[in-house]
Amino acid sequence: MQSFKPTRRTFLKTGTAAAALIGFGPAVLRGAAAQEADLAPYKSAKIDWQQASGETITVAVIPASYFENLITLAPQFKTLTGIDVRFEKIPPAQIRQKCVIDLTSKTGTYATHAADPMYYSLYAANKWVEPLDGYLKDKSLTDDAWFKFDDIIPAWRAADSIDGKLYGVPYDGEVTIQVYRKDLYDAKGLKPADTLEAYVANAAALNNPNDRIWGAALRGVAGAGQNMYIYPSIFREFGGEWFKGGKLTVNGPEAEAALAWYVDLMRKYAPTAAANWNWPDIADAFSQGTVANYIDAHSSASVVNNPEKSKVIGKVAYARWPKGPSGKRVTSIWNWGFPINAALPEKRKKATWLFIQWAASAETQARTAHRFAGPTKRSGVNRTSIWKDADYVKLMNGFGSNFVEATMQALQEDTDVDWRPRVPQWPAIGDTMATAIQSALSGQATVKAALDDAQKRIEPMMRG
């Protein structure tokens, strides 16, 4: 007969198991039941979500609420697919460089990342990321009837494609629109500007620095994603063409007129500090009631409506870009999309695609937006159908009058494929232009000299 002698190890084992059962058992069971219901909408897709189970992928995102909401849902994805997702938050100023370094070194650190649409040319030229059409068409990977890729906003899909090939799937995006103080406009009997001329006139009418109210503010700080995010719209509205006779041209009469308009507006009617401002600074100043109008991302509406900081809630309204001399309104085309790193092993690529499909699906988009439990809801969902969803529209219109209309019209009518020059050299071109715009704004160079210098610097970049 053998008597049971508890060793130190068996004792620990039993103890831990018992403790786990007592402590967490009910919670685990409850969680499992809840998750089963949570996952039903995904399980209606006719694909095997578990096909890459056991993989671990790292996703680089920026620290923004629309990604935070997604991160909170990651456990659902883990249960659905058996894939572990690790998120790494990198500030927007560094994410491009970090990902480019990862892609050139082919280490496959980031399975996917929040990508700047202007970088797909560069990625595609180096074959750093996978063309995604194959993944979309593969019946074992994508159930198109469920995923409804065509429901994703067309301008963003186009922005994430190069020569008709898709390289990234849009997750969240934005357009630039006018954000203005309805109360100040009403007090002076003004209407939101319909032309750039009227925009300056409105700014002049409302500008009163002695009372700490400035007429307008646009991004002033230098950067391909800062002042070079706003200037291209003005350039296009003045009739500028980036490619004249096949050659990238950044100077010339239209460019001079556009830059002169920007410099003039910023010097006369924007706070002096705006020369160093990016959108959060502008939105903060607007929240404090010191700026009457700005043109920037529609998503900044959540900042100017933040009840903890904003003093202008209920006084905000929105309008599309004013028309330029060419008769066009040109908004930005921006989205954070997810590409697949080409340096990954096959199975991990599949795991990454499943993640992308999950994140971009209508269900996840809704769960991170109007159906999100937390306080910050997303304003940049990627689905046309959600933008027509009554609940979502109601939520969005809480940001102020005309918000959904202005945003949707801008998305549908004011986007312009040639808004910015989409070439692999964009990082260099964007930086050069950003420097030129700032030189002109600060008076380091005249408008013409700054643009001519930029042209001189850009030409050798485009030569092979």
Partner 1 sequence: MTQAATTTARDFGRVLAQRERRFAAALLAPAFLALMATTTFPLFFLIWTSAFRMDLAMPFTNGFVGFENYSVLLADERFWTSLVVSLVYTVSTVVLQVVIGLALALLVMDMKRGQGLFRLIAILPVVLSPAVVGMIWRTFMLAPEFGIVDFLAINAGLGSKNWLGDPLLAMISVIVIHTWQWTPFAFMVLLASLASLPEDIYEAARLDRATAWQRFRRITLPLLRPAIVMVIIMRTMVALTAFAAIFTVTGGGPGTATEILNLYAYRKSFTELSIGYGSALAVALLIVTILISAILFAMRRAK
Binding site for partner 1 (CB under 8 A): 97, 100, 104, 122, 125-126, 220-224, 271-273, 275-276, 423-428, 431-432, 435-436, 438-445, 450, 457, 461, 464
Q: In this complex, which beta carbon is closest to partner 1, that of residue 221 or of residue 260?
A: 221
Q: In this complex, which beta carbon is closest to partner 1, that of residue 264 or of residue 391?
A: 264
Cα-Cα-Cα-Cα torsion 19, 20, 21, 26, nearest 10 degrees, comes to: 120
Q: Decide: 421 and 243 in contact? Cβ < 8 Å.
A: yes
Burial of 290: CB neighbours in 10 Å, binned 0-12, 13-18, 19+: middle
Q: In this complex, which beta carbon is closest to partner 1, that of residue 107 or of residue 397?
A: 107
- End-to-end CA, the chain: 86
Which of 374, 417, 341 lies closest to 158 in space, CA to CA? Answer: 417
- Which residues have C-beta within 8 Å of that of residue 50, sequence separation ≥ 6? 81, 82
Q: In this complex, which beta carbon is closest to partner 1, that of residue 170 or of residue 215?
A: 215
3-state helix, strand, coil in the chain (%, to 5): 55, 15, 35
* Backbone angles phi and psi of 69, in degrees to 5: -60, -40
Q: In this complex, which beta carbon is closest to partner 1, that of residue 193 or of residue 222?
A: 222
CB of 217 to partner 1, least distance (A): 12
Q: In this complex, which beta carbon is closest to partner 1, that of residue 17 or of residue 125?
A: 125
CB of 330 to partner 1, least distance (A): 25
CB of 449 to partner 1, least distance (A): 10
Place of tokens 């400035």: 214
- CB count in 10 Å sphere of residue 15: 11
CB of 444 to partner 1, least distance (A): 4
Q: In this complex, which beta carbon is closest to partner 1, that of residue 74 or of residue 228?
A: 228
Encoded tokens for 302:
């959540």
CB of 57 to partner 1, least distance (A): 24
- CB count in 10 Å sphere of residue 328: 15
CB of 7 to partner 1, least distance (A): 42
CB of 122 to partner 1, least distance (A): 6
- Which residues have C-beta within 8 Å of that of residue 443, sequence separation ≥ 6? none
| Secondary structure element (H or E) that encloses residue 169, with its range | strand 169-174
Encoded tokens for 153:
């906003």
CB of 109 to partner 1, least distance (A): 17
Q: In this complex, which beta carbon is closest to partner 1, that of residue 278 or of residue 379?
A: 278
CB of 318 to partner 1, least distance (A): 26
Cα–Cα distances (Å) from 260 to 244, 267, 322, 335, 451, in that order, read 21, 10, 17, 29, 11
Compute the chain's Rg from CA coordinates: 25
Q: In this complex, which beta carbon is closest to partner 1, that of residue 60 or of residue 80?
A: 60
CB of 232 to partner 1, least distance (A): 18
Provide the CB-side half-sphere exposure for 59 (13 A, CA).
Answer: 29
Place of tokens 């007090």: 187
CB of 404 to partner 1, least distance (A): 34
Which of 75, 126, 78, 76 lies closest to 99 in space, CA to CA? Answer: 126
Q: In this complex, which beta carbon is closest to partner 1, that of residue 33 or of residue 125?
A: 125
| Secondary structure element (H or E) that encloses residue 462, with its range | helix 447-462
Burial of 127: CB neighbours in 10 Å, binned 0-12, 13-18, 19+: exposed
Q: In this complex, which beta carbon is closest to partner 1, that of residue 271 or of residue 380?
A: 271
